[in-house]
Structure 1
């Protein structure tokens, strides 16, 4: 059954794809790439599908940007404004970093510098030895965001990777909102207000704001609504090649932003399309064949383009097979679905931290108000097969997000979740189960948009009920969404890049044959040297780093699961232990021999220690290991070790 739509002014729409359900809406969509206008006529809701009026002829094709109204401009402006509001602390304080996830910010700044280096120096994009030398980093097995870092090269080169990161995060949020709004308003609803409400939630849901605190790759979902739209367009007869190639281009583009989001989108779309194909098989008997033909084109073209990058990811140097086991057990707490995230105005840090692994993984926080509204809208629109399918998808994603063992309010129930059957399956073992809850947000956004559209239609068709319906809908939506209004991201002042790096003093020690060793060696708890390398455009090559790297467990050589730091070495382990507050062990000749072996393995040219917690203890330990005092240069203690590393007969002895 189809349903007519109107905009928020109560006037009949001039264009759109409003329909009683998404399966009917899909039948009304314009098959051209452009978002062409579609005529919509009223249909009695009580009529059976077979009795519905035939679809009207489409109007002449008009590009979507030629149909922009002041309402569209206002809606688009709100997404930009909210994105700037959230990221304002980063822009107003350029010497600050994200408080809750500074290590991922440093990681993405390094990745942005890598993308710029690919453009300016023509380096190989899928692997780099500028971090974690000599083993390097598999850029495909990590989130290298090449689809973003390459276009942002001018910003990275002119203003530095720190500013480029701020631009990345802000543009990711704004463009995602704009994309959702345009697709919803041009393809699924006619009410601009309904499209705006749906897009607003899809973009600034608590899970999105949570990931904005360190994962700009995950909040870069501007391609998701386009992928959904173009996937549903595959059923158009006679355009298999054209539609398939368009979708393939979007899939490849998304693959170089974040494969995890692409995978979840594909799973959701796959389930939705199968259910719709079954419900529409009699009404549209040739639709499935057309869809499969176009899907074959899309899959074939995407696989051809991604074959080599994916082979590097799964079989190339420094590839890994699955995430660490403890990460594969990161499930969403069942109690979090009705709770509020710490970045929501109704949330608090204590409750949220009890229900989530960390501040960046608050994926399932929807609050009681939205849960009740979602269930109410599903019941209200239960005659629509598409709405029921969307509700089923929400339950499916929610169940998957619970992880191998279900927890409730921080306590394990001992009950196995659906993910317990899947978390060790190849490819799936690289997914973080709690993030499946993120996929619920777009589902809720669709239901919100369709619910607001139906309310808008009722106000037009039943004039007497216009006031009560408007009040009821505004009240229900406000009660559900106002508590979820996000607050600006939290930031703290970061340690500045030392003058030793900014002044280029490091060039006296580091060249193509030598590296810099920072103390302690960089990892998730100390990512600063990665930012130093990014500042130099990765000309400064560093040892160790924070990245997903294959395990090198000598007790289990076949273990290729990922770890978040390089394999343990005597020197890195020693200084990590000191930094953690442990007593400095006795420095013996054996330890000196191991340190010299490590420095030669790393091809170290210089060892650098900046002022930080436990720096006195680390300085003393390194003096005892190397046998000589450092020099204070450019805000850092510097040990020149090139002669020790290059001279095979050199040895270390205790300081006099």
Structure 2
């Protein structure tokens, strides 16, 4: 019997060759001589020549050699360098794999530098002509070199960020990772170099760029203009790499978002979401005001179109400059109602897709499980509640990207680059919404603390690169946001904090109840009794989902990820109860953990019930883990029983489409420009009563008039009193309070000389040109009150009553 001995190979050298009869012989001689002389350093070696269908004597140069360590693999026909390298690398068995071109433009002696870089913990070391320390002994033709640099710059920006020289054909890889990367490659041309580096980039395998000596060799088969072809190949490859299940999942997310907004989406200018209260008017106004500022090159951080004459600090309000600015062309072309509707619909779908990507990458690779988890994360009951009115809590696609980047930092592979990217992402999220960023930070802190306690070995390895990356991120983020934040906290009409009452936390019952928009179990009266209003139903996950989550945690408790997600969910739920909570069905009140943070800077303005929104992605990931585990089981009973439990838990929280109703038409007084007869330069138009958070239809009139006039009052956050406490709306004045009281009560108080004198002072403060009263509840008493304040009746014109304050008494 003959015993076969498998030789252990430490280093494999792969040389692609096509019609290289003239250059290959000296290259093989140099490589073999060097490796033979340095076996004490590189160990046992092999050389694999991957012939790409040569028609000259290239193959004979290999087959006539007496050294069994030099092997030949051949392709039937010429298909390109990429195909040859795929064959060659697949034939290797070395712990490390060196790929070098047949011209040996980078001398084999440079292997020592690459080997040193791999020994420092990198998965690949690539020879570079573009980093400090590199030496070019013989240059290409100047024109060719310039074209090559331009093409390489494009490739770096589009395909492999951070790598300066993607095309130097001298690269050393860890063997197993090289074989995986080349096996999954698809390109047959020399663009495979970029494709393989992309694989390392996506896998978070560290790549070192090492300076080498390099000399141009005549006979190169790569033209400088071929860089454009490589870019086209990479673009086609990117399109083909999108898996059909991923595309289908994204299409379903978009369909779900369209269905949710179907009542408004197809005619947004004439439809209104009543559960948004006055927030739809407010947000459309924000988009219109931002577009107006951009179009006229005005400061987008401040305006006096509302709250005249003091104005509004827009940075201190959630105007979402990160979207309202880029949406300016759409807003100007089709109006703010269309822009807001498109933004919220696409933003919700994009958020679900971002959670899906994160779950597939980090939690559960099974696509169906990831879809369910992402759908729960993006379309959970609290998200649907905010979908009525708050795009800043719906358009959250940056949050999963931030989470993923923080996890990359923990790996410690590219700390500087990932820290920079994290800082840029955080800066952009600040311009989308600061409160969601704060909530995400709280959720990530809960998760990190729990996971670190469970996996202390991981925590010890991760904390240094994470801390360094966070510091880099802060250093990148702060210069970008410093001036806007300075304006927000110290600029005109800035304020300290917004008062939400002593306790805006969730009732424990709200965590287990069903939301108003539940398709099967919606109960508006019950839901609103457990929440601040229809837009703040911040929990309402339902008791079936709570039971399912508990079962998942108990069944999969051995997994560190499940433990960390369970702590995150429970911690966020407890914090959402607020600084104090009452035990249901009793008068017993306990302090909540939020009491420790309630009065701290930044935290004091948070509506604490919103912390329950952190539970949505955590529950989604728990669900994804469980469903992936279920689909892998071979026990049919377990599979169907588990999927039935999942269905029974999710069905009660499937949302119905958001309620929508016809919008009240804008009076002709505003649409046909009749208001211009009454408002002079520097004056304002005063709606009766003044717009406020309880009635902001005047904001819609103003946008319909293309923001042509200013008005006092409004719906925004601004300062009140000497302490500059944040309130909703403008600082009240006697006349605005009187008119608001009449609107709600229908009772006109006795208005004498003092009231009329006070009204004149308030009109002067507002620089009022005219008062306008549109048809509305209690408009009769309001008309009577204004007539008494002004001293004369108004005039009916354009569908409104108008009191021209320029007229003599």
Matches within 5 A, 1:402-481: 402-409=577-584, 413-457=588-632, 459=633, 463=634, 465=635, 467-481=636-650
Q: Say whether 1:153 aligns with 2:303.
A: no
Give the alignment partner of residue 539 of structure 1, picking from 702, 708, 714. 708
Q: Residues 623-645 of structure 1, C-alpha deviation per residue, up to 9 Å, x if partnerless?
A: 2222223222211111221467x
Q: Residues 95-131 of structure 1, C-alpha deviation per residue, up to 9 Å, x if partnerless?
A: 2211122311111011001221132111111111110
User: Are residues 627 and 315 of structure 1, via their aligned partners in 2, closer, same or farther at CA, if it must alter by over 3 Å?
Assistant: same
Give the alignment partner of residue 249 of structure 1, picking from 418, 424, 441. 424
Give 3-state SS (helix, strand or coil) of 1:606's partner: strand
Give the alignment partner of residue 357 of structure 2, picking from 175, 182, 185. 182
In structure 2, the gaps of 5 or more residues are: 1-120, 125-155, 161-175, 182-195, 200-236
Does structure 1 retain, via aligned residues, the 8 Å contact 2:364–2:624?
Answer: yes
1:92 Cα shift?
Answer: 4.2
User: Are residues 511 and 187 of structure 1, via their aligned partners in 2, closer, same or farther at CA, if it must alter by over 3 Å?
Assistant: farther
Could you tell me how far apart the structure 2 residues matched to 1:65 and 1:410 are? 57
Query: 1:513: which partner in 2?
Result: 682
Q: Residues 399-450 of structure 1, C-alpha deviation per residue, up to 9 Å, x if partnerless?
A: 1110122135587632221122322222111100100001111110111111
Could you tell me how far apart the structure 2 residues matched to 1:355 and 1:594 are? 41
Could you tell me how far apart the structure 2 residues matched to 1:228 and 1:395 are? 19
1:81 Cα shift?
Answer: 0.7
Query: 1:45: which partner in 2?
Result: none
Does structure 1 retain, via aligned residues, the 8 Å contact 2:773–2:802?
Answer: yes
RMSD: 2.5
User: Are residues 280 and 124 of structure 1, via their aligned partners in 2, closer, same or farther at CA, if it must alter by over 3 Å?
Assistant: same
Q: Say whether 1:500 aligns with 2:662.
A: no
Does structure 2 retain, via aligned residues, the 8 Å contact 1:335–1:408?
Answer: no
Does structure 2 retain, via aligned residues, the 8 Å contact 1:336–1:409?
Answer: no
Give 3-state SS (helix, strand or coil) of 1:282's partner: helix
Q: Say whether 1:81 aligns with 2:255.
A: yes
Give the alignment partner of residue 602 of structure 1, picking from 759, 766, 772. 766
Does structure 2 retain, via aligned residues, the 8 Å contact 1:455–1:469?
Answer: yes
Give 3-state SS (helix, strand or coil) of 1:526's partner: coil
Could you tell me how far apart the structure 2 residues matched to 1:66 and 1:290 are? 34
Q: Say whether 1:377 aligns with 2:549.
A: no
Give 3-state SS (helix, strand or coil) of 2:578's partner: coil
Q: Say whether 1:614 aligns with 2:778.
A: yes
Could you tell me how far apart the structure 1 residues matched to 2:608 and 2:774 are? 38
Give 3-state SS (helix, strand or coil) of 1:482's partner: helix
Count of aligned pairs between the two proteins: 589
Query: 2:377: which partner in 1?
Result: 202
Could you tell me how far apart the structure 1 residues matched to 2:399 and 2:706 are? 31
Could you tell me how far apart the structure 1 residues matched to 2:250 and 2:238 are? 14
1:509 Cα shift?
Answer: 2.4
Matches within 5 A, 1:82-231: 82-94=256-268, 95-231=270-406
1:275 Cα shift?
Answer: 4.2
1:286 Cα shift?
Answer: 4.1
Could you tell me how far apart the structure 1 residues matched to 2:250 and 2:585 are? 39
Give 3-state SS (helix, strand or coil) of 1:472's partner: helix
Q: Residues 448-484 of structure 1, C-alpha deviation per residue, up to 9 Å, x if partnerless?
A: 1111222233x3xxx4x2x223212211210110111
Does structure 2 retain, via aligned residues, the 8 Å contact 1:364–1:438?
Answer: yes
Could you tell me how far apart the structure 1 residues matched to 2:249 and 2:159 are? 17
Higher RCO (CA 8 Å, separation ≥ 6 residues)? 1
User: Are residues 580 and 106 of structure 1, via their aligned partners in 2, closer, same or farther at CA, if it must alter by over 3 Å?
Assistant: same
In structure 1, the gaps of 5 or more residues are: 1-26, 37-53, 645-651
Give 3-state SS (helix, strand or coil) of 1:166's partner: helix
Q: Say whether 1:391 aligns with 2:555.
A: no
User: Are residues 64 and 260 of structure 1, via their aligned partners in 2, closer, same or farther at CA, if it must alter by over 3 Å?
Assistant: farther
User: Are residues 519 and 270 of structure 1, via their aligned partners in 2, closer, same or farther at CA, if it must alter by over 3 Å?
Assistant: same
Query: 1:563: which partner in 2?
Result: 727
Q: In terms of Rg, which structure is larger?
A: 2
Give 3-state SS (helix, strand or coil) of 1:549's partner: strand
Could you tell me how far apart the structure 2 residues matched to 1:617 and 1:286 are? 71
Could you tell me how far apart the structure 1 residues matched to 2:239 and 2:450 are? 33
Does structure 1 retain, via aligned residues, the 8 Å contact 2:451–2:563?
Answer: no
1:236 Cα shift?
Answer: 3.6
Query: 1:15: which partner in 2?
Result: none
Could you tell me how far apart the structure 1 residues matched to 2:675 and 2:507 are? 47
User: Are residues 410 and 404 of structure 1, via their aligned partners in 2, closer, same or farther at CA, if it must alter by over 3 Å?
Assistant: farther
Q: Say whether 1:584 aligns with 2:753.
A: no
Query: 1:344: which partner in 2?
Result: 518
Query: 1:5: which partner in 2?
Result: none
User: Are residues 486 and 410 of structure 1, via their aligned partners in 2, closer, same or farther at CA, if it must alter by over 3 Å?
Assistant: farther
1:518 Cα shift?
Answer: 0.2
Could you tell me how far apart the structure 2 residues matched to 1:393 and 1:167 are? 32
1:591 Cα shift?
Answer: 1.4
Does structure 2 retain, via aligned residues, the 8 Å contact 1:138–1:317?
Answer: yes
Could you tell me how far apart the structure 2 residues matched to 1:57 and 1:415 are? 60
Does structure 2 retain, via aligned residues, the 8 Å contact 1:213–1:489?
Answer: yes
1:217 Cα shift?
Answer: 1.5
Does structure 2 retain, via aligned residues, the 8 Å contact 1:231–1:247?
Answer: yes
1:66 Cα shift?
Answer: 3.9
Query: 2:651: which partner in 1?
Result: 482
1:603 Cα shift?
Answer: 0.7
Could you tell me how far apart the structure 2 residues matched to 1:410 and 1:150 are? 49
More strand as a share of residues: 2
Does structure 1 retain, via aligned residues, the 8 Å contact 2:302–2:313?
Answer: yes
**What TM-score comes out, normalization by structure 2 length?**
0.69
Give the alignment partner of residue 548 of structure 1, picking from 685, 696, 717. 717
User: Are residues 199 and 64 of structure 1, via their aligned partners in 2, closer, same or farther at CA, if it must alter by over 3 Å?
Assistant: farther
